[in-house]
Structure 1
């Protein structure tokens, strides 16, 4: 029996941080870096004089100098006060540490267009996957509504099982799994708390292991991933984070094989190319095999999985254990919901402007004879 497995970065379905909605990371790179730094400073038990000066600088940089509201984010001061703004524009940090106030820095959100949502559902309906890894989903409830309210009218069926565990990303971009009837999700193992020996949290989101029952018996172990992006922070620090994550994913994968699991798939957005140094710990030295290297895989002449489809934009993957790779019968990418001005691939007839695209990512699929 053929089982179709796919991965799709949906870039949030109903609710997306405004700061993530630009065409490229560079548009809001400075804002993202300031947000990340300020969030770290605010979590400290004690604010030194230098910390307080930096808090003020970062608030102003983020447009929060005169008010708790800015176009991209807001400062929540629920109890106690972090800052007080005096007449004349002076900002005074009143809290001496995290215990003096309750609140947080919150990213403001916006909804995609209705047509973008329908195009996203149409991609999934056209793919008709039995097992779908979803990247950048808000939460399990949103995935359930997407399946019932949008996929079902477009496809005539909906996913029977939906699973998502909140990860470590404060922007609300998580990874999840959706499966159709006959593919029940069994045991789920989260790795949100995995840490390095030095105590550093490893995963930006999570690396959940989900056991999926197969109609003919047996099970497929699916690991859904969204590794550290290149979007903000220095390239060196981002590369180190991705390398740590890739190393840990490989360890989990090898542990599954050692425990006797033969059917293991790693899928999702790895945010780097196959020849990159950060992904070498996962892909090198006998690691899981990239389905796009299989003779039965057809990329249509464009190996990339993001925006233009060029090779340098290959960042989404379906990686297979040896037994899964041997079971590949066909594979490819679904691009019709991705905007292109070049005519490199046909788009949906209703996709006439970039804002209505289903995603900037191309869905990757594979048919397995399991």
Structure 2
């Protein structure tokens, strides 16, 4: 059977700020959005907080209207602000209880060429079981499989499952599998809490466990993950969050191994490199083994999985339990949907990939063939 993982970076709709040409273009918008959302959620608004909110609303392009180029402020009831005729914004609410509404990122459809290139990558993966990172919902994932993958000559997946996670933007993780690999019992970890007493959730999305029965009758446990990004907040905070996530996944793996599971795979975008301190509890200190290190695995000549696939861009993983690692017969990386750079082009891509905006994803797809 073939096990694979792919960060598809959403399939149909995503925040406009995340659809800009580069991550750095959209990052300031997302950071301002997060800061304003946090301030609006405070029970009591201080004078300094109100001034900061007003400045952020203007910076997000909402000085004259509740609809900005990338963000919408929805005000259903109560009074939050007023806009003087002389310009500017004045926050009139004294706290969250004074108004009812929300701050939302504006969505727009994904580039159609990019979406079809995503489908081409999945077609060419020929995976029996595919962990998917950054999908909006099960209906979207199912429609993508049935309609878009089929439209480029691929075979739709019989089984499609996605459990809503903790990300309010709808960035979730899921699993798709073929007819001979039904998805059985599932377990979510959306409510796991950090052990520091803060009562904060551990996983930015989730760490769902999917039990898959193979064509030969074996049981495979697949955990799909998308760890905390480096893009938001300070380095110490994001590193600490990823380390807590890696620690918790390692604990879950240890529990399943003790229960008698032989075949376990932890797959996904872990947003850090194999030698990083945050991933150490899972990548270095747990029994799990990186498929990249298997002698039968071909990395295509590049050590990374993201961007231009440099060593510092190895952030996607197929981590296998020892007995599962021993069943690997071959493995590899598909980069035909990634932008290859220009001077020189690093790898061959689809003819339909003419611009960076048409890339299927900034991530490579990883696969291994398992004799189970």
- Flag whether TM exceeds 0.5 (same fold): yes
Q: 1:24 to 1:287 in 2, by over 3 A?
A: farther
Match of 1:348 in 2: 350
Match of 1:178 in 2: 176
Match of 2:97 in 1: 99
SS of residue paired to 1:358? coil
In the alignment, the residues of structure 2 paired with residue 201 and residue 235 of structure 1 have an alpha-carbon distance, to the nearest angstrom, of 19
In the alignment, the residues of structure 2 paired with residue 50 and residue 286 of structure 1 have an alpha-carbon distance, to the nearest angstrom, of 46
Deviates more, 1:3-12 or 1:195-204: 195-204
Match of 2:366 in 1: 364
In the alignment, the residues of structure 2 paired with residue 118 and residue 293 of structure 1 have an alpha-carbon distance, to the nearest angstrom, of 31
Cα shift at 1:212: 1.1
Cα shift at 1:48: 2.8
SS of residue paired to 2:257? helix
In the alignment, the residues of structure 1 paired with residue 220 and residue 80 of structure 2 have an alpha-carbon distance, to the nearest angstrom, of 49
Cα shift at 1:23: 4.0
Match of 1:130 in 2: 128
SS of residue paired to 2:152? helix
Match of 2:33 in 1: 35
Cα shift at 1:156: 4.8
User: Is the CA contact 1:26–1:231 (under 8 Å) kept in the aligned structure 2?
Assistant: no
User: Is the CA contact 2:13–2:109 (under 8 Å) kept in the aligned structure 1?
Assistant: yes
In the alignment, the residues of structure 1 paired with residue 63 and residue 27 of structure 2 have an alpha-carbon distance, to the nearest angstrom, of 19
Cα shift at 1:247: 0.9
Cα shift at 1:90: 4.1
SS of residue paired to 1:13? coil
In the alignment, the residues of structure 2 paired with residue 99 and residue 303 of structure 1 have an alpha-carbon distance, to the nearest angstrom, of 51
Structure 1: runs of 5 or more not aligned? none
Match of 1:222 in 2: 222
User: Is the CA contact 1:62–1:70 (under 8 Å) kept in the aligned structure 2?
Assistant: yes
In the alignment, the residues of structure 1 paired with residue 257 and residue 153 of structure 2 have an alpha-carbon distance, to the nearest angstrom, of 36
Aligned length, in residue pairs: 368
Q: Map of 1:1-370 to 2, 5 A cutoff? A: 3-197=1-195, 198=197, 199-340=199-340, 341=342, 342-370=344-372
In the alignment, the residues of structure 2 paired with residue 153 and residue 48 of structure 1 have an alpha-carbon distance, to the nearest angstrom, of 55
SS of residue paired to 1:155? coil
SS of residue paired to 2:90? strand
Structure 2: runs of 5 or more not aligned? none
Moved over 4 A (4+): none
SS of residue paired to 2:141? helix
SS of residue paired to 2:67? coil
RMSD between aligned residues: 1.5
| Cα offsets for 1:197-250 (capped at 9, x unmatched) | 311211111111111121211311111011111112112211111111111111
In the alignment, the residues of structure 2 paired with residue 106 and residue 347 of structure 1 have an alpha-carbon distance, to the nearest angstrom, of 35
SS of residue paired to 1:125? helix
Q: 1:56 to 1:275 in 2, by over 3 A?
A: same
User: Is the CA contact 2:247–2:282 (under 8 Å) kept in the aligned structure 1?
Assistant: yes
User: Is the CA contact 2:7–2:133 (under 8 Å) kept in the aligned structure 1?
Assistant: yes
TM-score normalised per structure 2: 0.95
